[in-house]
Copies of this chain bind each other. A is one copy, B any other.
Amino acid sequence: MRNDEKPAIRDLPLFRGIMDETFDTLMAATYSQEFPPQLDLFRQGDRADFLHILVEGSVQLHTEWRGREAIMAVIRPVSSFIVAACIPDAPYLMSARTQERSRIIMLPTVDLRTALGRDPALAGAVMSHLAMSFRGMVRQAKNLKLRTGRERLIAWLLSQARREGNLHTFTLPFEKRHLASYLGMTPESLSRVFNALKSEGITLDGSRVIIADHARLAEVAGLDAMMDDLGPDNGRAEPWSPHPGSW
């Protein structure tokens, strides 16, 4: 592993509070690898042998069934992924492929498990990570059950703008067909919905998204802290009324 990567990894939620000794032991057990774009890292059903940490590039977690496929998540650096498969030593539920050239640190689950037994703080960190992962997936399922494709797109665009820190404009971080897949629709439908959104003040210039009036749209679209990932403080503080209309 390269030394300039260490600080960022050390600062991951997964490792932040743990003992230096634990961290060093873990890092000593890792392999670091550079992967070309579009490379399959593992497939759903494979035994989860490694905890992965994405240091550079980006990775798609996707799933396939009977010839259909859908992107479940896109990972960006620096973050760990598929922790949940490593803990119970179960097979991966999703496949992974690099989206672009990526550098990935791989930690054998054996070593993770050993460290877990030794450093309670690590267990705590893993716990938090899993809790947040779970909540993220709940959000995704809620989106799929309660919103139409159009609504999911608007919500995603607004959330993404917030994450990027620019409420007015940002560049799509992946191809439109992948966004479509992530949102659970076809590329054709996505294209049409984008067209329809012009009237709402959302315009496209290639892969650049321009949002005319973020605040108004967030209101109209029903952006919701319980359903959308609204940034770092998301769902912690509660500046909204928890029971609208209850008082």
Contact = CB atoms under 8 A, between A and B. Distances in A.
Contacts of A138: 72, 84, 93-94, 137
Nearest to A243: B43
The secondary-structure label for the interface of chain A is mixed
A32 B65 CA distance: 44
Contacts of A225: 45, 91
A138 B135 CA distance: 11
Interface residues of A, number: 59
Nearest to A126: B127
Interface stretch (A96-104, A194-202, A232-240): A232-240
Contact of A131 (B45, B88, B120, B236): B88
Interface of A: 43-47, 63-66, 68-70, 72, 83-85, 87-91, 93-94, 116-117, 120, 123-124, 126-128, 130-135, 137-142, 144-147, 184, 222, 224-227, 235-236, 238, 240, 242-243
